Structure 1
Amino acid sequence: MELLWLWITVLGSLALAEVLWTLPIDQDQWPRPEDVELAEGYLRRFYNPSPGGSVSRRRVRSTSSTMEEEIREMQTFFGLRETGGLDSTTLVVMREPRCGVPDAENFSFYPEKPQWKNNTITYMIAKYTPDMKREDVEKSFRSALKMWSDAAPLRFIEVNHGKADIASPSRELPFIVHNNTQRKSPL
């Protein structure tokens, strides 16, 4: 009789295990196909640039680890928690409007992949143009830098003296009159 109860217990446990293994997986744990498609396009555009600046189609994703590595690189670039997965925060960043310049350049000829580590950038308006009001120049600078900081994890701080990461106009970056219709812009 004890042997019968033992068999009933074992078979019951196996039946329960089989039922549990066939329960549906929580769909929220897996990215939707459209999210995967968005991520693949985003990573191809901003993390696989070719030397000429266009998107490289040479590399074919053969493993998920390659995509995971690129997601980690993207998460690091934007200061997100590195998971290597398509979590909601990562997808929000991927959906935000941004410029078309890749985050990862093709630095294969540089052994250490140079990257600017500082996210806080100082700027100084050293000299003003006579063609604009001082307030308009300052407003233009703030507006341009805000667009940049809205699209990338950067913070800009104005300094009034000393050295700045961006100093304009200076001898290197003077205010000049230029007619953009005379040449095509690379952008």
Structure 2
Amino acid sequence: MRNVSRCGVVMLSVILSAGLASPAAAKEPSSEPEHVGVLDAAVESLTGDVYAEPSRWRPLSLGTLFTEGWDQAWASPTRGSGGAPRQGWIGAANGVFYRLGLAAYSYAHDVGDNGDEHAGTLTLYTPFSRRFELRHDIPFVVNNKGSGNSYHTNVGDFSIAPRVILSESQDFTQSFG
């Protein structure tokens, strides 16, 4: 009798699991991200939850540079095939897109026997689609000695660099800019 009741519980569990799993199976992601238009892609890329669904990320090929990714919202890339996160290093060339802000500060003592130097920068990465991103470099303080042997504090030159992903796979990205 005990075996019969255990089999009944197992069968009931399987049936309930299948019933609960079927709505999720219906929401299975398509093989290509949704085409939402250039403006909607920019809004979703800048404000949407890009980390909630890693399955939204898809590879991009060089052959579809002019036809794919421009009207699709950016999604954070998945981990590489070895399990490592797709990320860059501060101060190095960036291989992937981000939606990120980085603040950096540096101090150097007695630079060239001409006193101390301070520098602060803010870098903002703003993806507008799967293919296009702007990088904003904002040096908000530069302090060092000038020619009159007195310290000068200034704001550096604000720069904007457009970046385009040429191709992207799980382990490799080619970008321009």
Structure (1 or 2) with the greater helix fraction? 1
Name the TM-score, length of structure 2 as normaliser. 0.28
Name the TM-score, length of structure 1 as normaliser. 0.27
Structure with bigger gyration radius: 1
